[in-house]
Amino acid sequence: MTFAAPLEAKSIRFRARSFVAFTLTPEAPLDVWLEGLDHWIGNSPGYFAGRPVVLDLNTLKPDVAAIESLVGVLGHRGIRIYAIELDGHTALAPNLPPVLVGAKEATTDGLLPREARAEVLDRAEGRAPEQPAEARAGTGSAGKDQASDGKVDASKAGDSEPQIAQEASGTLMIKAPIRSGQAIVHPHGDVIVLGSVASGSEIIAAGSIHVYGTLRGRASAGALGNRGARIFCRKNEAELLAVDGWYVTAEEMEGVSRGKPVQAFLDGESLRVSTLS
């Protein structure tokens, strides 16, 4: 008789990671642009070697054949294209790199969504933004703001689609309770919740998470790879706590830390949940 090997009860870890890629934006006329690129490479040989490069074709908008030849031409110069940005396309051709969407701009303040970056640039150049602020907020989350002063209101996320906070940087403060089914995603910093976080809701933050009510839902801090992020709550009834992909479930927290004010933080390779005095 043979026995199947027992499946190892090992949980799979999912985590979001950010990498910085260089974006090349070819402009017409292409031969002039390539000449400039060659000049640049001539001054800094090996600059692109081993670096992830994304090709932004939203300015040039070439057809598929032109993209193929462009990728080849860049390949001859030692520039390997990891992905292509081209609005309105989800896939190009099987032999071309994948299409990438949702890019954020790297700045000294951190990562910025594209629209926000455009506004920052506009402001820096002393121009008025092309879109009014309300119109921009409307694309990201429905309704007017109640939760934070003049910022996009993530607490109105009454939908299963996660509401992504669109603020440029810093802390997201939510003054209303977070209801079951709501998901608050804040990729730019800490999240502070003044009310409770209901069972069946979720907070995902790049930074730390502070809950001044009872935390009954799920909280993931440092979700973009910040090991130093922590989770604090006044009363821990959480379904799951995670920092940088390491997590503990409610079952594992049974006993010592349930119902108490706690903090959760990474200690080496494990997530520790300790009570706050």
Partner 1 sequence: MGKVVVVTSGKGGVGKTTSTAALGAAVAKTGKKVALVDFDVGLRNLDLIMGAERRVVFDLVNVIQGTAKLSQALIRDKRVETLFLLPASQTRDKDALTEEGVGEVIDKLRSVFDYVFCDSPAGIERGAQLAMRFADEAVIVTNPEVSSVRDSDRIIGLLDARTMKAEQGEHIAKHVLVTRYDAARAARGEMLSIDDVLEILSVPLLGIIPESQDVLRASNLGSPVTLSEPLNSAARAYLDAARRLEGEELPVIVPFERKGFLDRLLGRRAA
Binding site residues, partner 1, CB under 8 A: 142-144, 146, 155-159, 176-177, 179-182, 195-196, 198-201, 214, 216
Give the C-alpha separation, 229 to 206, whole Å. Answer: 8
User: Do residues 275 and 262 lie in contact, with contact meaning Cβ atoms separated by under 8 Å?
Assistant: yes
CB of 200 to partner 1, least distance (A): 6
Q: What number of residues does the chain have?
A: 277
Measured from the CB atom, is 32 or 142 closer to partner 1?
142
Q: The tokens 């954020």 sit on which residue?
A: 104
Measured from the CB atom, is 160 or 277 closer to partner 1?
160
CB of 217 to partner 1, least distance (A): 10
- Name the residue type at position 10: K
CB of 165 to partner 1, least distance (A): 15
Give the C-alpha separation, 221 to 206, whole Å. Answer: 6
Pick from 45, 178, 150: nearest CA to 163: 178
Give the C-alpha separation, 212 to 235, whole Å. Answer: 8
Measured from the CB atom, is 72 or 158 closer to partner 1?
158
CB of 102 to partner 1, least distance (A): 23
CB of 141 to partner 1, least distance (A): 9
Measured from the CB atom, is 16 or 194 closer to partner 1?
194
If phi over 0 gives left and psi between -120 and 50 gives alpha, with beta otherwise, what is residue 237? Answer: alpha
Instruction: Please state, in angstroms and as integers, the Cα–Cα distance from residue 10 to each residue in 6, 16, 218, following that order.
Output: 12, 19, 21
Measured from the CB atom, is 153 or 244 closer to partner 1?
153
Give the C-alpha separation, 220 to 2, whole Å. Answer: 43
CB of 166 to partner 1, least distance (A): 16
Measured from the CB atom, is 84 or 137 closer to partner 1?
137
CA dihedral 22, 99, 78, 57 (to 10 degrees): -70
